[in-house]
Amino acid sequence: MNSKTLIIANWKMNPINWTNAKKLFDSVKKNLKKFENIKIVFCPPFIYLPLLSNSKSESTMNLSFGSQNCFWENEGAFTGEISVQMLKEFGVKYVIIGHSERRQFLNETDEMINKKIKAVLKSNLKPILCIGETKKQKKQNKTFKILRNQININLKSISNSNLKSKISNLIIAYEPIWAIGTGEPCNPQEAKKVFLFLKKIFPHNLILYGGSVTNENAVNYIRTGFNGLLVGGTSLDPKKFVNLIENVRKNL
């Protein structure tokens, strides 16, 4: 297991143009040398990936790139899709899989997510599997049942396949759906219960928290035990994002 704390910047479908994307990346990058115990992973829209990874310099070793999605086949007639091999060629090391926005807006199913996880593991990249419950499921006390079910289907037939030896590359992100982009983060005590539940299932994997993480609340999750954070909105504000990293660093 990688001992470095992971901070993933999920830019989603932002910023609106390349000039702003480059500006955002540069403003965070120039502050990165200070953060030796932390690995920052930028997950920009696909089209910005090669441009940004080309502009990464040697002095920023604690910086990596991830994509927000991938397809499970290597090549072929799959209009609009991008394979793991294509991502790998451009320096991508991490792939976010099963983000709730993809599950919700693109009808991505648990079975599709399972195929994607397998494709990423097979290529020796690190999948970041997003799991989480809705507000309604939480109110009905179904959080653990939902997570267990997502885990079972999303990781089906991996531990008894030739991918078993690669499973330590898997990263789990607990992202309660009701906390994503709402400004209503999960209470750290409740998040801790989920962390302990996941740690029992995945003792050798990194476990992240995501959902309305800010520079102010980030440390709460690190203190709780999480191995890192998946950050959406705050990662688009360079000042706040660098401050978030700094606050986490102070608490390691």
Stretch that binds ligand PGA, among 30-38, 192-200, 205-213, 239-247 (CB under 6 A): 205-213
- How many residues of this chain bind ligand PGA (CB under 6 A)? 12
Of the candidates 112, 128, 120, 56, the one whose C-alpha atom is nearest the C-alpha of residue 88 is 120
Distant-in-sequence, close-in-space partners of 114: CB < 8 Å, separation ≥ 6: 153, 154, 155, 156
Residue choice 131, 155, 194, 230 for contact with ligand PGA (CB under 6 A): 230
Give the C-alpha separation, 131 to 33, whole Å: 31
Residue choice 233, 242, 245, 248 for contact with ligand PGA (CB under 6 A): 233
Stretch that binds ligand PGA, among 107-115, 155-163, 215-223, 229-237 (CB under 6 A): 229-237
Q: How far is the CB of 45 from ligand PGA (least distance, A)?
A: 14
Q: Provide the 8-state DSSP code for 71.
A: B
Nearer to ligand PGA, 161 or 214 (CB): 214
Please identify every residue annotated as catalytic: 99, 175
Stretch that binds ligand PGA, among 84-92, 107-115, 146-154, 224-232 (CB under 6 A): 224-232
3-state secondary structure of 10: strand
Site membership for ligand PGA, residue 229 (CB under 6 A) = no
Nearer to ligand PGA, 135 or 164 (CB): 135
CB atoms within 10 A of CB 122: 15
Of the candidates 238, 244, 167, the one whose C-alpha atom is nearest the C-alpha of residue 7 is 244
Residue choice 6, 180, 208, 219 for contact with ligand PGA (CB under 6 A): 180
Give the C-alpha separation, 4 to 206, whole Å: 10
Site membership for ligand PGA, residue 232 (CB under 6 A) = yes
Of the candidates 102, 72, 99, the one whose C-alpha atom is nearest the C-alpha of residue 87 is 72
Nearer to ligand PGA, 62 or 100 (CB): 100
Beta strand spans in the chain (E) = 5-10, 38-43, 63-67, 92-97, 126-131, 171-174, 206-210, 228-231
Q: How far is the CB of 171 from ligand PGA (least distance, A)?
A: 13
Stretch that binds ligand PGA, among 19-27, 63-71, 136-144, 227-235 (CB under 6 A): 227-235
Q: How far is the CB of 19 from ligand PGA (least distance, A)?
A: 22
Give the C-alpha separation, 239 to 24, whole Å: 10
Site membership for ligand PGA, residue 114 (CB under 6 A) = no
Of the candidates 213, 241, 195, the one whose C-alpha atom is nearest the C-alpha of residue 40 is 241
| Nearest-CB residue for ligand PGA | 232
Give residues in contact with ligand PGA (CB under 6 A): 10, 175, 180-181, 210-213, 230-233
